[in-house]
Structure formats: structure tokens, C-alpha cells
Amino acid sequence: MQDFQLTALALVAALLFGVAILLLTGCDLPLVRPTVVPSATSLVPDQTPGPQPTPLPVEATPQGPATITLTIWTTEAFSPTQVITSGQILAQQTAAFEAAHSDVRIQFILKKPYGKGGILDFLLTTGAVVPDLLPDLVVIDVEELEVIVQADLVQPLDDLLPPDVMADLYPFAREACTFDGQLYGLQFQADLDHLVYNTGKITIPPRSWPGVLSNPGPYIFAAGGKAGLVNDAFLIQYLAVRAQPTDGGPEGSFLEADSLAAVLQFYLDGVSRGIFPANVLDYHTTDDCWRDYLAEQAALTQVSAHRYLADRGRLQSSAVAPIPAINGPGTAISQGWMLALTTPDPIRQSAAVAFMVQLMAPETNAAWNLASGYLPTRQTAVALWDEADSYTGFIQQQLQTARPRPRLSNYTEVAAALQEAIEDVLTGDVTPEEAAAQAIEHTQ
């Protein structure tokens, strides 16, 4: 037994000696450190740290530039898939941009222009549920910009656009896209209404109400409202009598009794004298008016520039003029479509704005709108249209003085009340003064 104990002690001593030799010779065995539960004092960093190991240099692997895919929500009318020339122009511009920016690709996603499942509806729904799925750019009607600005879905452009682009926009295009002093969109296409008259029946077009009421007519315009809301034809006349308030007062002050009654009386006088047709309330759009003008059922009509440009080649004995208002030519109300920046990412913003600026180049803006039969929004773009064409000079003047539709938070309520007033007066239910008072009461 004693021999066994001596042998065991000898083995233990030999093992300890071997371990000591291994530690001293620094062999590559893995070192397992014991788990230590830190105390409060052990969390205090060592004031005299030892030397830190120097990391070995790692050879960098060159990486190619990441490709950015810009997504644009648009409609069929403003897409490269359009078979008409405007679609071809957009396709060419897209290809040219991608060629000049090898790290950028552009993807167009088509949406309905309006209503359920339309662009505005998708923007609001996506922004509320999955904002990461919003596009980088969106093409949208200027009348719907205010909604997405209030929903904080678009980015201001003032610090991103070249100053020359902003300065070259017609005043109406800047005003329509500006909220609280900031520009939130680039209107690239415009439309407005003006007068067309038959030169075989009228030598000189009327310039004001007295001229309208003394000419033989018939003079047709949209008076029946659209979806229950007043037509721009009435707003043009009303704003010529009562300029839109700019004092920041309550929106209810937009309607003023005497001014409203004056326009309603003008409508009534025109119908009573047979200058406006008795069924003027059956005309709901300028397309309705244009149809009857082409059928030679009127000597004068109000028509959109888009419709006039589309049919101009087959017109005979026709000329254009401003819409006559109370004391002279009225100010046209502009409509149109615009580009808005939705991405908040600086890198994507840079690429998206570069594409916007390319599309807004004067030559492109001029050619794109001419091909689609609409009006440019840059002054230098209109200057590229045929100078010898009398319509070019005329439309330059109309664009220079045009204004966007009045911006009222209760616009739908006001427009519905005005349409009701027109119908009540022309059907003989009330006087212009009574209708004006009722419209104001209904919107307060």
C-alpha cells in the first residue's frame, strides 16, 4: 500500500512538472479562462491599460458602385409606354439619363389618375401603413398636392433645384406648388381655358361684359357644373369682379355678396337676351361646348387649350381670344400635372432631382408638351415653339397672367354652393341677390 501511494505521488509530480514545462515553452494549446463574476469594483476600467495588439492590415477588395433603382408612380398618360410621341420622348429621356448615370435605373409603376386605387389614394394608404414602400418620385395632379403636403409625404425642393429652373417657371406653376413659402413640386404640364370665335360671324371678339351682351351670339360655356361643383368659367368671372383676398383673413371672406350677385346677374342677362343658350346648364365641361361649336351651333365658346390644339388642324374661320370679363380680359385658371419628390434619402434625392431637372430642360419641356397637346410651364420652353405661329404669342400672354384655382380648405363646400346659386338664378327660383346671400350663408 505504501508503494502504491509513493507511485501515485510520483505520477502527480511528473504531471505537474510537464505542465510547467509546456507553459514555459509557450506551446499553442488553447487557453480556457475561468468564468469570473464581476464585482462592482471590477466594472471600473483599468486606469493603466496594457499595450493593445496592432491589427494586421487587411487588403481592401474594390467594390463597384451600388445601383439605385428610382421608382416613379405615374399614369398611363405620362409613361414611356405611351404609343404617341410624348411616350417616345419620355422613353428617350429615360434611356439618356440611365446612360449618363450608370449607377441609376428608373422604374415606372402605373396607377389610375384619380379615385379609389388612384395615385393619391395609394400615396395616403402606403404612407400610413408601409412608408418604406413609397416611391421616390410621383406624378400627380396639382390640385391634389396640398393633400400630400399636409400628410408629410413629399419633400421641399427649394434647396435641391437649380435657381434658374425655379426662376423660369411661370408664376402660376410656382404658386400652385408652393405651401408655407416652400416649393413642393415641379409642374411640367399645364392647361387653361380661352375663347374661340367664328371669324365668319364675328369680326372682333368681345373684350368685356358689355361686348358680350351686345354681340349676336350664341356664346356657350360650361355653366352646368362638374360633379356638382362650379366650373372654372364662373370662377374666372368672379375673380375678375372680386380679387382673391390676400390679407390672410378668414376664408369665408372669399365670397362677397355684391360681387357674387353681379356675376349671377351677368349670367341671367345673357340668357334673357338669348346670347347664352337657354340650356346653358346642360354644358358641364368645355368638351361639351367644343362639340357644339364644331357643329356650328355657336359663334363663340370657351375651350381648353388642350382641346383646341388637338383639333386646330381641321378648324376653318376660327380665331382665339382671352375670355371677356367685367372690364376686360379675364385671368385664366391653370390646371395640370406635376412631379413631386417623396424619398427622404439624400442619395436617392440627388438622383431623383437630377432626373426631374432633365425632364424640365426647356427643349424637353417644349417637345414633350407639344407632342401631347398641352402647355409648357417654363417660359424658355414656350419660347421654343414656332414664333411665327400667332397662337404662340397668344398663349405666352395667357400663361404669364394665369393663376391656379383658389386655395380654400372648404373649396368643395364653396364650389357646391356657387353651383347651386347659378342653377337657382337661371331657373328663376331666386334673384341674383337672394342666391348670393344664400351661398354665403351656406358656407359660413
pLDDT in tens, 288-305: 999 999 999 999 999 999
Is the residue at 40 inside a domain? no
Q: 176 and 113, same structural domain?
A: yes
Q: Confidence band (pLDDT; 50, 70, 90) for 264? A: very high
Q: 169 and 222, same structural domain?
A: no
Least confident range from 83-92, 225-234, 331-340, 416-425: namely 83-92
Is the residue at 200 inside a domain? yes
Least confident range from 232-246, 371-385, 392-406: namely 232-246
Q: Confidence band (pLDDT; 50, 70, 90) for 245? A: low
Q: What is the pLDDT of residue 85?
A: 85
**Residue 9 or residue 323, greater confidence:** 323
Q: 383 and 252, same structural domain?
A: no
Q: What is the pLDDT of residue 200?
A: 94
In SS3 terms, the chain reads as: CHHHHHHHHHHHHHHHHHHHHHHHHCCCCCCCCCCCCCCCHHHCCCCCCCCCCCCCCCCCCCCCCCCEEEEEEECHHHCCCCCCHHHHHHHHHHHHHHHHCCCEEEEEEECECCCCCEHHHHHHHHHHHCHHHCCCEEEEEHHHHHHHHHCCCCCCCCCCCCHHHHHHECHHHHHHCEECCEECCEEEEEECEEEEEECCCCCCCCCEHHHHHHCCCCEECCCCCECCECCHHHHHHHHHHCCCCCCCCCHHHHCCHHHHHHHHHHHHHHHHCCCCCCCHHHCCCHHHHHHHHHCCCCCEEEEEHHHHHHHHHHCCCEEEECCEECCCECCCEEEEEEEEECCCCHHHHHHHHHHHHHHCCHHHHHHHHHHHCCECCEHHHHCCCCCCCHHHHHHHHHHHHCEECCCCCCHHHHHHHHHHHHHHHHCCCCCHHHHHHHHHHHCC
Q: 290 and 433, same structural domain?
A: yes
Q: Is 0.85 surpassed by the pTM of this model?
A: no
Q: 119 and 202, same structural domain?
A: no
- Give the percent of the chain with pLDDT over 70: 83
Q: What is the pLDDT of residue 7?
A: 43
pLDDT in tens, 155-187: 999 999 999 999 999 999 999 999 999 999 999
Q: What is the pLDDT of residue 66?
A: 83
Q: Residues 68-94: what's their mean pLDDT?
A: 92
Q: Confidence band (pLDDT; 50, 70, 90) for 316? A: confident
Q: What is the pLDDT of residue 15?
A: 41
Q: 164 and 276, same structural domain?
A: no
pLDDT in tens, 185-225: 999 999 999 999 999 999 999 999 999 999 989 999 999 99
In this predicted structure, the answer to whether residue 12 has a pLDDT above a threshold of 70 is no
Q: What is the pLDDT of residue 253?
A: 79
Is the residue at 43 inside a domain? no
Q: 328 and 339, same structural domain?
A: no
Q: 370 and 280, same structural domain?
A: no
Is the residue at 143 inside a domain? yes
Is the residue at 2 inside a domain? no
Sign of torsion, CA 99 104 105 108? negative
pLDDT in tens, 93-107: 999 999 999 999 999
Q: Confidence band (pLDDT; 50, 70, 90) for 81? A: confident
Q: 436 and 344, same structural domain?
A: no
**Residue 42 or residue 214, greater confidence:** 214
Q: Over the chain, what is the mean pLDDT?
A: 87
Q: What is the pLDDT of residue 444?
A: 86
Q: 116 and 139, same structural domain?
A: yes
Q: 301 and 419, same structural domain?
A: yes
Q: What is the pLDDT of residue 403?
A: 97
In this predicted structure, the answer to whether residue 75 has a pLDDT above a threshold of 50 is yes
Is the residue at 38 inside a domain? no
In this predicted structure, the answer to whether residue 3 has a pLDDT above a threshold of 80 is no
| Cα distance between residue 353 and residue 363, in whole Å | 18
Q: Confidence band (pLDDT; 50, 70, 90) for 58? A: low
Residue 315: domain span: 193-332+405-442
Q: Residues 50-67: what's their mean pLDDT?
A: 56
Number of domains in the chain: 2
Q: Confidence band (pLDDT; 50, 70, 90) for 244? A: low
Q: 273 and 326, same structural domain?
A: yes
Residue 424: give its domain's CATH number.
Answer: 3.40.190.10
Is the residue at 152 inside a domain? yes
Is the residue at 49 inside a domain? no
